[in-house]
Amino acid sequence: MSYFLGMEIHQDRQRIFICQRKYANEILNKFGMENCEPVSTPLALNEKFIKEDEADKVDGSVYISLVGCLLYLTATRPEIMYAVNLLSRFIQSPSELHFKAAKRVLRYVKGSNELRF
């Protein structure tokens, strides 16, 4: 096993596996979600993401950091790419709904951290 840009690389005669298990754990720790309850999907079914002026706003810098971390994780976790794309659309003015959805992606990552591509 070797590391390159924070990615674990495992190689045998026929395949190369790349994962960011260690990075995923660091993100979970950074946002206080290391003991969270895992979920089976990155997004809740039929969740609507709209920009609401009256919605409860959250700290934009924390949201930007979380979405940025998730964006880097998509290099080895393509199954979260759609969710992260949706969340990145609300970088300008995130609400509690968007932050909750971003934390759900983290909960999904926690439950599927052993995936390798």
pLDDT tens for each residue of 63-108? 999 999 999 999 999 999 999 999 999 999 898 999 999 999 999 9
The answer to whether residue 101 is domain-embedded is yes
Ranges of H-type helices in the chain: 21-30, 60-73, 81-88, 96-111
The answer to whether residue 33 is domain-embedded is yes
Q: 117 pLDDT exceeds 70? A: no
The answer to whether residue 6 is domain-embedded is no
The answer to whether residue 100 is domain-embedded is yes
Q: Is the pTM of this model over 0.85?
A: yes
Number of separate domains in the chain? 1
Domain that holds residue 34: 21-111
Q: How high is the pLDDT of residue 55? A: 64
Separation CA 107–CA 44 (nearest Å): 12
The answer to whether residue 53 is domain-embedded is yes
The answer to whether residue 116 is domain-embedded is no
Q: How high is the pLDDT of residue 50? A: 73
Cα dihedral sign for 19, 25, 99, 104?
Answer: positive
The answer to whether residue 4 is domain-embedded is no
Cβ(36)–Cβ(108) under 8 Å?
no
The answer to whether residue 87 is domain-embedded is yes
Q: How high is the pLDDT of residue 4? A: 85
Q: How high is the pLDDT of residue 60? A: 87
Amino acid identity, position 46:
N
Nearest of 29, 33, 4 to residue 19 by alpha carbon: 4
